[in-house]
Amino acid sequence: MRVLISGASIAGPVSAYWLARQGFKVTVVERAPALRKTGGHAIDLFGPAMDIAEKMGVADRVLNRATGTDHILARRPGATRVTHVDYRKLSAAISARHVEIMRDDLSQIFYDAGCEHVEYLFGDQITAIADDGQVTFAHSPTRQFDVVIGADGLHSGVRQLAFGDDAGHTEFLGAYLSVVSVPKSLAREGEMTGWFDVDRSAMIYTADHLDNARAVFLFRPAAPFTYDHRAADQHKAVLRTRFTGMSAEVDRWLAEVAGTPAFYFDAIDQLQLDTWSRGRVTLVGDAGYCPGPAVGGSTSLAVVGAYVLAGELGRADGDHAAGFAAYEQVMRHPVLGARALAKSTARTILPSSRLGLHALLLTGRLISLLPTPVTSAVAGLSDRGIRLYDSIQVPDYAMAVARRG
């Protein structure tokens, strides 16, 4: 069975690894000329996603590339008091097995795990998909595939080809996210420094193995604005307008924006498709069910979704219609939970009032003061809140792998 995957970031390589393990002939097409090294931000892997990384034999590499952040210094403009947050305790409250890692590092690790058994086409993209599986590329010759998987992110080209324009598919969660690569000297290893205000926050962190640091900006405008998600000059101007004067430290970060080697800016949008499959095409990760960048655990959801999709296609012995249906059934509950969590998180991390801001910082301080077993036990009482991802039940596809591998 010939499978084409669009996207070589996270969900694409994970899907490719497990499909190839089961005997499928897998091709991955990626628009970038090589694996993206865009200075991406830190992302979270929670329990089930780490379990899958372990099954792939890469858990140790993931742990070795962890950012190493162990505490947060939280400040407010105009205030002298600094809130100290124990990030290790905060992570333990969220997940029993949590790793923070840079997106570029994780992408490389997953790519390395399966690249010897997968065909990768870099510097190309899908331009058309026929009902019979014939795929047209921007540069490569037309080819025939049995299944096409869109793993190409929030702005998925495959989704647009299969489902049409995004009108009615997305919900704006009220905020924007930007990540900027800045000199490493502006940050301290092991520490995240954050400035928090009503409707905006700015943070900086680095890691031992990085050559630079990441400044992260989140803000909520009074109303959404129209922009091109690739218009970097416009985005940089917006950042300067929103954050100049927040503090002298934040102003130093902003001074690096004009000449930064890597820059990201996008709306925190949530995809709300009722189905992720159409004909021979299905979507995985952010391409199909992004709960919202930076607020919904989308990376862990993508890893789990990629594993489940490959496993269900294997169980269905290549019957893509049956495999897609089973995949959607397994992932439906986690996706709905992630959507609800993302909406709640977007409101919490960007308070719209002074009272909400005070509550946010107080919560961080209390978590730091309580013993880790206490915070973990309290968080574990519910599978709908911050422990959502640890509660995901992932089927074991080991027998299918052994039979077809």
- Quote the CA–CA distance of 333 and 327 in Å, as a whole number: 11
**Is 176 within a domain?**
no
Closest CA to 175 of 224, 105, 111: 224
**Is 252 within a domain?**
no
**Is 211 within a domain?**
no
Residue range of the domain that includes 27: 2-170+270-390
Looking at the structure of the chain, the number of domains it has is 1
Residue-level pLDDT at 382:
44
**Is 53 within a domain?**
yes
- Quote the CA–CA distance of 351 and 227 in Å, as a whole number: 24
DSSP three-state, residue 178:
strand
Residue type, 149: I
**Is 384 within a domain?**
yes
**Is 89 within a domain?**
yes
Q: Can you read off the two tokens belonging to residue 172?
A: 């704006």
Q: pLDDT tens, position by position, for the chain (405 residues)?
A: 999 999 999 999 999 999 999 999 999 999 999 998 766 789 999 999 999 999 999 999 999 999 999 999 999 999 999 999 988 888 877 778 889 999 999 999 999 999 999 999 999 999 999 999 999 999 999 999 999 999 999 999 999 999 987 656 899 999 999 999 999 999 999 999 999 999 999 999 999 999 999 999 999 999 998 878 778 999 999 999 999 999 999 999 999 999 998 899 999 999 999 999 999 999 999 999 999 998 878 999 999 999 999 999 999 998 999 999 999 999 999 999 999 999 999 988 999 999 999 999 888 888 777 655 544 444 443 444 557 888 889 999 874 554 444
Paired strand residues for 149: 5, 282
**Is 330 within a domain?**
yes
Residue 27: which H helix or E strand, with range?
strand 25-30
Token look-up 């010897």 returns 116
CA-CA distances (angstroms) from residue 72 to 46, 163, 178, 193?
20, 42, 19, 6
Residue-level pLDDT at 399:
46
Instruction: Identify whether the C-beta of residue 364 lies closer than 8 Å to the C-beta of residue 83.
Output: yes
Q: What is the CATH number of the domain that holds 60?
A: 3.50.50.60
- Quote the CA–CA distance of 284 and 342 in Å, as a whole number: 18
**Is 262 within a domain?**
no
Instruction: Identify whether the C-beta of residue 282 lies closer than 8 Å to the C-beta of residue 276.
Output: yes
Residue-level pLDDT at 167:
57
Token look-up 């960007």 returns 350
Closest CA to 211 of 262, 264, 265: 262
